[in-house]
Amino acid sequence: MWLGRLRLTTQLTALVIATTLISIALVVLLLLNQAQTIVENAIVDRNIQVLQATARQLARPARENDIVAAREIMAPVPGPGSIRRVTLYSATGIFLDEEIASDMQAKEGGGDEQLARQAVASGQIAQDRTANLITLVAPVQDGTRAVGAIAMELPTDDIARGLASLRRMALLIALPIAAAMALVAWGIARYTVRPIQILTSAATALGRGELTEEIAIRRGGEVGLLAQEFQRMAHDLRASRTAIEAHNRTLEEHVAQRTADFQTALADLHNTINARDQLSASIRELASPVMPVLDGVLVMPLIGAIDAERADLLLSSLLTAIERQHAAYVIIDVTGVPLIDTHVAKTLLQAAQAATLLGTQPVLVGLRPELAQTIVGLGVDFSDLITRTDLQSGVGYALDALGRGR
C-alpha cells in the first residue's frame, strides 16, 4: 500500500486529516438532510391546515360544479412561492385547475387523479413527495359523503437551493478546520514519532555493535518504559557479547588443539588405510592363487565363499596366469567352496569358457555330491566341462593327456 511507504509522521497526519474531513462531511450531510426533512414537514403541516379549511368550504361548489363559487373560496389561498398549483376534483372529474406559479412547469390536466381517488376512497389526506415537489390531496366532504378532492402542489426548489448553499458554506468552514487539525496532527505525530526514530537509530547502531552511549529519551508512559527496557537490553547485550568473545577465544584454543589432534589421527588413518590396502591386495592374491604344478599344468584352488568382486578377481587371475605360463591344462579345485549358487556356477562356467578360448583345457575337480545336486537343480550346463573327483585325479588326467600328446 502506498501509505505504508510514507514516513510515520506523514501517515499519522494524513490519517488525522482524512478522519476529520470524513467526520465533518458525515455530520454536515446528516444535519442538512435532517434539516431538509424538518423544513418539508413544517411546510406540509402548515399547508395541511389550509387545505383542510379550504376543503370544508368547497363541498357545495364541488357537488354542483360551481367554478365561480370555487374561485371565490380559493382566492385567499397563499400566492406564488409557497404553492405552485391548486386543483379541484368533483365527482365527474377535474373542473378547476389553478396554476399559481406560472414560471414552473406543471403536469398536464392536474396529474393528481390517483392521489385524488385515494383521498376520496380513504377520507384522509394523501401526499406524495418527490425531489422538488410535495403534493397534498384532501377529500372534499358533504357531510359524511366525499363529493370531490382538492390537490395542492408545494415546490421545494428553494429549500434545495438553500441546503446547497449551506453545503458550500460548510465546505468552506471545514477547510480551515482541516488545516488546523493537520497542524495539530503534525505536532502530535512529531512528538510521538521522535522517540521511535531515536530507538530505531539506537537499534541500528546496536546491530552493528556501535552503541556506547545511553538513549536520550526522558519521558513517562509507554514510550519511557520502552526506552528503559531497550537500554537494559543494550546493557545485557554488551555483557553477553563480552562473555561470548571470551568463550570464543576458549573455543578457538580448543579447536586449534583438536585440529592438531585430528591431523595426527588423519595421518595415522592414512597409514592404516595404506596398510589395509596392501593387506587386501595380498589377501586377494591368496584368495585366488593360480599355481603351476607341472610344465603346462596350472592349479587354481578355491576356498571360501565367492562374491561378485572375488569372481571378477578369480577370472582375471586365471586368464593372466594362463597367458603368462602358456598352460595347456588348468585344474579348478572347488573342494573348499562351501556353497555353489547360480552366481558361483556361472562364474565357474565363464572361467572355463574363457580358458578354452585361450587354448587351455579346464578341468573341474572337488565337486561334492551336494554341490553336484545344487548345480543340476540350478540348471547350469556343465556337460562340456571335464570333471574329476579330486585334485589327484585331475592332475593324473592332465599327465595322461600330456603323455598322449607327446
Tell me, what CATH number does 25's domain have? 3.30.450.20
Residue 371 lies inside a defined structural domain of this protein:
yes
Count of the separate structural domains present in the chain: 2
Residue 303 lies inside a defined structural domain of this protein:
yes
Residue 79 lies inside a defined structural domain of this protein:
yes
Residue 194 lies inside a defined structural domain of this protein:
no
Instruction: Pick the last residue of a domain from 101, 128, 161.
Output: 161
Domain that holds residue 9: 2-161
Q: Are residues 17 and 154 in the same domain?
A: yes
Cell of 9: 509522521
Residue 244 lies inside a defined structural domain of this protein:
no
Residue 357 lies inside a defined structural domain of this protein:
yes
Residue 10 lies inside a defined structural domain of this protein:
yes
pTM: 0.36
Distance from CA of residue 294 to its chain's centroid?
A: 84
Q: Are residues 151 and 300 in the same domain?
A: no
Residue 41 lies inside a defined structural domain of this protein:
yes
**Could you report the average pLDDT of every consecutive run of 10 residues in the chain (406 residues)?**
55 71 73 72 77 79 76 65 72 64 41 78 83 83 80 76 73 75 72 69 69 61 66 75 86 89 89 80 65 88 81 85 90 86 83 90 89 80 84 89 73
Instruction: Pick the last residue of a domain from 107, 127, 161.
Output: 161
pLDDT given at position 375: 79
Task: Please tell me the distance from the alpha carbon of residue 138 to that of residue 156, in angstroms, as a whole number.
Answer: 20
Contact 96, 71 (CB under 8 A): yes
Helical pair 308-325 and 221-287, crossing angle rounded to 10 deg: 40
Instruction: Pick the last residue of a domain from 110, 137, 161.
Output: 161
